[in-house]
């Protein structure tokens, strides 16, 4: 049995991971997915990491999984607890001292046109997409403008999953960022930016493959 700590993205909640958590728990694993204090304008990346570390508690040998902006938080958590593995799912890849806003500028990312469904939930069942949007929260600008605090990416095995049809973080862009910054080849899953909702079983299978590896 493994413990997996899931970190949601900007404007989101831990509920985002509920289908993947249910799948993994049915296979005997332990999971947790706390809500980050994203609406708190006084909370930055360290406070986000505090919430996850507190939720992990005394658990050991933990896999830390970060979605989208969660890529800024997952390595901080992983370094603090000496995690077994870091997994980014459509995750941002920061450099030391680089804010999320700066990462977009430095890597040539451009916001695609389209509404929330078109960009994030185009491959998610309609009813589930509506429920996901009902959980959306205001995202404070504080964490996104804060320099990433680590001196380097943690010396912890890292895997990256990107969506082959991701409209928000196109695979051509994110794949290049991953190769340049982490010097690893990402795994491509069929689907868009939110595979935990559109492809929960496939994502759980991939996470178990990483655990076995």
**CA dist 158 to 79, 145, 162, 210, Å?**
12, 25, 13, 10
Share of the chain above pLDDT 90, in %: 97
Enumerate domains of the chain plus CATH numbers.
3-212 (3.40.50.1820)
**Which pLDDT score, from 0 to 100, does residue 1 have?**
84
Confidence of residue 81 (pLDDT cuts 50, 70, 90): very high
Note if the pTM is more than 0.95.
Answer: yes
User: Tokens 């910054």 correspond to what residue?
Assistant: 181
Share of the chain above pLDDT 70, in %: 100
Which phi and psi angles does 176 have, rounded to 5°? -65, -45
Confidence check: pLDDT of 111 > 90? no
Confidence check: pLDDT of 58 > 90? yes
- Per-residue pLDDT tens for 185-203? 999 999 999 999 999 999 9
- Per-residue pLDDT tens for 122-168? 999 999 999 999 999 999 999 999 999 999 999 999 999 999 999 99
């Amino acid at each position: 049995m493994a413990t997996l700590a899931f970190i949601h993205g900007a404007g989101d909640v831990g509920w985002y991971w509920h289908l993947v958590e249910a799948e993994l728990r049915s296979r005997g694993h332990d999971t947790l997915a706390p809500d980050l204090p994203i609406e708190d304008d006084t909370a930055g990346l360290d406070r986000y990491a505090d919430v996850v570390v507190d939720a992990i508690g005394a658990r050991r040998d933990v896999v830390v999984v970060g979605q989208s902006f969660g890529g800024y938080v997952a390595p901080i958590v992983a370094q603090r607890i000496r995690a077994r593995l870091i997994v980014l799912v459509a995750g941002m890849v920061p450099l030391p001292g680089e804010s999320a806003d700066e990462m977009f500028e430095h890597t040539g990312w451009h916001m695609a046109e389209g509404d929330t469904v078109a960009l994030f939930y185009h491959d998610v069942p309609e009813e589930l997409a509506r429920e996901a949007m009902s959980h959306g929260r205001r995202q404070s600008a504080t964490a996104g403008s804060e320099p990433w605090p680590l001196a380097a990416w943690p010396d912890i095995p890292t895997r990256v999953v990107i969506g082959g049809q991701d409209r928000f973080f196109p695979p051509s862009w994110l794949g290049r960022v991953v190769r340049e910054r982490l010097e690893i080849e990402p795994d491509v899953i069929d689907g868009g930016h939110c595979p935990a909702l559109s492809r929960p079983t496939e994502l759980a299978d991939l996470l178990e493959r990483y655990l076995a590896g």
